[in-house]
Amino acid sequence: MLRRHVKTTGWFLYLSIKVRQAMPVFPRISMKPEVTEYLKSVYINKEVLTVVGPEEAERRFQNLLTCLSHPPSYTCVRASTHLAPLEEIHHQLGEELKKICSLSAQEASVHILPHPQVKDVLLLPVDGPRCVQQLSSEVVVGAQCANAVLRGANVFAPGILGSPKYMKVGDVVSVFSDLEGRCTRGATNYQGKKVFVGNGVAKRDRSSIFCPGEPARGVGVQMVDPLYRSPSFDGVLPSLVFLQNLPSVVVGHVLDPHPGERILDMCAAPGGKTCHIAALMGDQGEVVALDKIRSKIAQIQENAQILRLQSIKAFCFDGTKAVSSDSTQTSEGPPFPAESFDRVLLDAPCSGLGQRPNMSITWSLKEICSYQPLQRKLFHTAVRLLKKGGVLVYSTCTITLAENEEQVAWALHTFPRLTLQLQKPHIGAEGMLGAGLSSEQLHLLQRFSPELSWDQTQTTSLPCRADGDTIGFFIAKFMKT
């Protein structure tokens, strides 16, 4: 297998890790033809064709489809630098992971790399895709479970859909993902469309996994030989490291919260960005977190407690209704008077097409296109709640124009008082052509596009930076003048 070198200057480190082979281990992402055609129209639009030509546009689109089904080549964790220095967390994490590797008979050498520009991020190179031989004994899991396995998780019992008829604790099995969601729970021999994700050891008997009337809990299969090997962070330094995609960490820094400010996270669950905002403020000020699903509020509160953050106040409330018509209202909870917040984060509900790995998208085109109106309702509320001179950051984890650059163009037209702002750090690409924005405006946007690093890795011998091999993500920063 080839070796890949990441060369950087100044802050950057020289790394050497295994590069992915150009030949994919499993197929490109599976989706309905109408969705594929829709995405193709996005990535091969007239503005793109004018700049790069049809052949290059088509190649980039095909690379994107391949990349989405594979995990990023780095696992990213956010260090709780409000509790301890990065160097200390780095050391403690290394020691913990060495213990885990020794217990599971894996190679004890653990590479942990500080990010050169994002000062509270640690990166762990992922080894894969690896050559793993499939076994005759098969366990079938749901697509979401398989996606987690590809990023280092074990198989938890609730994710298991089918297993060998007489599977018992200690059996070595191959784990497959059900690509079409058609495997009947409790199946013993599934012949539908599936894809191999690695081998593991059964930690539960079949009878206990599919016991009627009692939901299965805990690890069902411990992965010992996965296609992609990366550390499992289950229970590892829970107050000091938080598993989070790199662009999601960048959002908090782009928002740039300051101690003493009042900040709103409009769609906050599960609370990773909320907690990061509070940590960046030194837990001094007020971070209001909203989510319309009550069970998710408990998750935000639990994460805040684990990370020892006191400045977070979480409320179960619909963000589209968060502005009060009564300017004299004084209660601490929603709805709030207009211009109540110094900064607002609108990490909007979206189609999530940038999530990786994602081997199968079963949504219809109608479902994918349903998010734009909701995002605009939330945007209206966000602008009203923002103080004059305040900062609004809009972000999504999707790759469409309609939910990203087109929303920026709409916002600038709808709200003349909003102006685009420079983002720091800016480690992704600029905005995508196709929404009619100027080159200056596109330069101020930040789009993380998964296909970029695959393009570099597989078609040339150029160095590849971790910044490019992330989930698909989009960030825009506005100021209310």
Active site residue ranges: 397
DSSP 19: P
Contact yes or no for 29/14 (Cβ under 8 A): no
Angle at 219 between CA 217 and CA 221, to 5 degrees: 130
Give the span between the Cα atoms of 248 and 255, in whole angstroms.
11
H or E, element range at 3: strand 3-6
Give the span between the Cα atoms of 421 and 256, in whole angstroms.
12
What's the chain's length in residues?
481
Angle at 237 between CA 271 and CA 283, to 5 degrees: 45
Buried b (16+ CB within 10 A) or exposed e, 261-297: bbbbbbbbbebbbbbbbbbbbebebbbbbbbbeeebb
Report which of 256, 281, 473, 248 is spatially closest to residue 343, judged by C-alpha positions: 256
97 in helix, strand or coil?
helix
**Secondary structure of 153-165 in the HEC alphabet?**
CCEEHHHEEECCC
264 in helix, strand or coil?
strand
Give one DSSP letter per residue of 358-391, joined into a string. Answer: -SB----HHHHTTHHHHHHHHHHHHHHHEEEEEE
What is the CA 440 to chain-centroid distance, rounded?
27
